[in-house]
Amino acid sequence: MGRVIQFEDHALARLRERCAAAEEANQDLLAFARGHSGAVSSIHSAVLSAMEADSFDSLLHVVTQEWPLMLGIDAVALALIVGERGFRVDSGGVQLVDPQMLQRSLRQVDGVVLRSVDRGHPLFGPACDLIRAEALIRLESDAPVGLIALGQRAGQQLDGRHGSELLLFLGRSLSAMIQRWTLNP
């Protein structure tokens, strides 16, 4: 005579596994949405604070001194090529840099580069030894051209597509403000 195979226990265990996996995926999605919302808010706050700058020096102060706190990062460096000269601005002030080094860096960045690193980009100056995750954002404008480097000491998982879109917005906004202050002081 045939034997009856009980599927109920197996089906119930499988259903419980699928429910647990769906709940975990739901929690991951909620965590991402909360983080993305926070990132959007931080980027918007940073852009608004830069828009409120009443001079080019004030804009540089906002970017290098206030943005790290607003964006929850450890270091910001801004590099610009003005005429034949290269400049790097960070929390320590303004320094001259080799414009050819900046040109090489610009060729390597098409929009935004997000990466984990053992050592940060040289644009971070003395802080480059401490940087473990960085975003390099190309500044696009008629003049001057440059890069903004955002860095943090803690390495982290980087969200490529969504993070890049936000950082492109940040870079384009900063480019427009720099152009405004350098071409129409």
Confidence (pLDDT) at 91 = 87
**pLDDT recorded at residue 171:** 92
pLDDT for 38 equals 67
DSSP 122: G
Residue 153 half-sphere exposure toward CB, CA atoms < 13 A: 4
Tell me the H-state helices in 64-159: 67-71, 99-108
| Confidence at residue 30, expressed as pLDDT on a 0 to 100 scale | 47
Q: Domain 26-183 - what CATH class? A: alpha beta
Q: d(Cα 144, Cα 142) in Å, to the nearest integer?
A: 6
Q: Of the spans 12-26, 28-42, 86-100, which averages the highest pLDDT? A: 86-100
User: Is pLDDT above 50 for 127?
Assistant: yes
Backbone phi, psi, residue 55, to 5°: -160, 170
Residue 18 pLDDT:
74
* Mean pLDDT for the chain overall: 82
What is the SS3 assignment for 95? strand
Strand partners, 93: 90
59-74 average pLDDT score: 93
* 137, 112 Cβ separation under 8 angstroms: yes
Q: What is the mean pLDDT of residues 167-182?
A: 89
pLDDT value of position 42: 87
- Alpha-carbon separation of residue 119 from 93, 114, 132 (angstroms): 21, 14, 6
What is the distance between the terminal CA atoms of the chain, rounded to a whole angstrom?
Answer: 96
CA-based R_g, the chain, Å: 23
Q: Where are the alpha helices (DSSP H) in the chain?
A: 8-51, 56-61, 67-71, 99-108, 160-183
What's the whole-number mean pLDDT along residues 29-43?
A: 63
